[in-house]
């Protein structure tokens, strides 16, 4: 099985920065997609950013220019650099991995709280 272990969440003031990381281990075959989702209280879980095996990225409009997703393929690790954080970014953030063959995996979630 595949495990995704997240780290880097915490409490930060508005305008501050955090960097999340997610290390994948286990039986990873034919990686399709890596990404970050978030879920705020009372809201649906939403996609924040994705990165393909080839390095192409895409972002939710509200985080464009502030968040950067990247990966270290040798370490099977994906990162989310978050700058200029806003209170509305407060959520539990989850990393996500999908493989060819109808397999998908989630991290345990890490809390990001942005105070005003």
Q: Which residue has the tokens 């060819």?
A: 100
Tell me how far CA of residue 22 lies from CA of 29, 87, 96, 102, in angstroms: 17, 23, 9, 21
Q: What is the pLDDT of residue 76?
A: 86
- 53-89 pLDDT per residue, tens: 889 999 999 999 999 999 998 888 999 999 999 999 9
| Half-sphere exposure (Cβ direction) of 37: Cα atoms closer than 13 Å | 17
Average pLDDT score over residue span 17-41 = 91
């Amino acid at each position: 099985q595949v495990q995704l272990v997240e780290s880097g969440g915490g409490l930060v003031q508005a305008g501050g920065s955090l960097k999340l990381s997610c290390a994948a281990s286990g039986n990873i075959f034919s990686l399709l997609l890596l990404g970050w989702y978030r879920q705020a209280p009372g809201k649906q879980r939403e996609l924040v950013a994705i990165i393909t095996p080839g390095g192409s990225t895409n972002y939710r409009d509200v985080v464009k220019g502030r968040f950067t997703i990247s990966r270290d393929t040798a370490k099977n690790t994906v990162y989310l650099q978050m700058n200029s954080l806003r209170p509305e970014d407060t959520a539990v953030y989850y990393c996500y991995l999908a493989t060819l063959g109808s397999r998908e995996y989630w991290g345990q979630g890490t809390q990001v709280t942005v105070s005003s």
